[in-house]
């Protein structure tokens, strides 16, 4: 019994854990999900590329793929070593503006394709958007469970990049009426925006103490 307690205490002690083993159980599982998700996203980009006709979408796809590849390699490296990666993390920069066209334009209802011959710019960009959103969610959830400080920072730094990629694709889709954005009536918008007031801070009771 005493030996078991000693072994438990030794297992719980983290001061001498080598960097490559400085990972919790939740972290191991969640980072596996992140890395698998990154591979899945890159695979989708690779498969979809052959169906892209629009040079603008092709440029977005290639830039995002190359960035994801570098980010995947950085994440994998620090996960396996537990130390700072050999390359610093970068911030993804989209080329497009951020103007959205609001309102709905009549279009054909969407439905799953029945053949690869139906793949086009709309379906490819839709797959790209789904992958970026999925990776943003997975990396956020994983970062909350990570114990290794380097892996946590790399994942946390990666989340805004996924958001930026998703936004870039949604702007592209909106321009081509693939991603339509309805609005509330102006009166309803005003009412909803004015539902809240600024916080004034906490008023602390003095508990009868004099100053």
Distance between CA atoms of 51 and 182, rounded to whole angstroms?
Answer: 29
The Cα 158–Cα 137 span in angstroms is 11
Least confident of 10-24, 25-39, 55-69, 131-145: 10-24
Summarize the confidence of residues 88-117 as an average pLDDT.
88
Question: What is the crossing angle of helices 121-143 and 55-81, to 10°?
Answer: 20
Contact residues for 87 (Cβ-Cβ < 8 A; gap 6+): 70, 73, 74
What confidence tens digit (pLDDT) does each residue in 75-84 have? Answer: 999 999 988 8
**pLDDT for the residue 25:** 83
Residues 152/146, Cβ–Cβ less than 8 Å: yes
Backbone φ, ψ for residue 189 (5° rounding): -60, -45
Model pTM score? 0.84
- Level-2 CATH architecture, domain 22-93+119-177: Up-down Bundle (1.20)
Confidence of residue 23 (pLDDT cuts 50, 70, 90): confident
Which has more pLDDT, 123 or 206? 123
User: DSSP assignment of 121-149, as one string?
Assistant: HHHHHHHHHHHHHHHHHHHHHHHTT--SH
Task: Please compute the mean of the pLDDT values over residues 52-75 and round it to a whole number.
Answer: 97
What does pLDDT average to over the chain?
A: 88
Nearest by Cα to 132 from 183, 83, 179 = 179
Proportion of the chain above pLDDT 70, given as a percent: 89
């Amino acid at each position: 019994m005493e030996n078991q307690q000693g072994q438990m205490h030794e297992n719980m002690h983290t001061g001498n854990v080598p960097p490559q083993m400085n990972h919790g159980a939740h972290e191991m599982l969640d980072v596996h999900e992140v890395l698998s998700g990154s591979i899945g996203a890159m695979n989708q980009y690779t498969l979809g590329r052959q169906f892209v006709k629009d040079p603008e979408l092709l440029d977005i796809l290639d830039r995002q793929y190359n960035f994801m590849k570098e980010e995947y390699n950085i994440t994998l490296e620090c996960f396996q070593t537990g130390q700072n990666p050999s390359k610093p993390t970068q911030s993804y920069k989209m080329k497009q503006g951020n103007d959205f066209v609001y309102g709905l334009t009549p279009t054909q209802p969407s439905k799953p394709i029945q053949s690869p011959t139906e793949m086009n710019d709309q379906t490819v960009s839709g797959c790209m958007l789904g992958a970026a959103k999925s990776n943003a969610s997975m990396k956020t959830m994983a970062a909350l469970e990570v114990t290794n400080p380097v892996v946590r920072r790399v994942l946390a730094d990666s989340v805004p990049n996924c958001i930026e990629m998703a936004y870039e694709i949604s702007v592209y889709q909106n321009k081509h009426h693939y991603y339509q954005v309805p609005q509330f009536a102006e009166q309803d918008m005003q009412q909803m925006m004015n539902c809240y007031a600024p916080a004034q801070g906490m008023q602390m009771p003095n508990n009868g103490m004099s100053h």
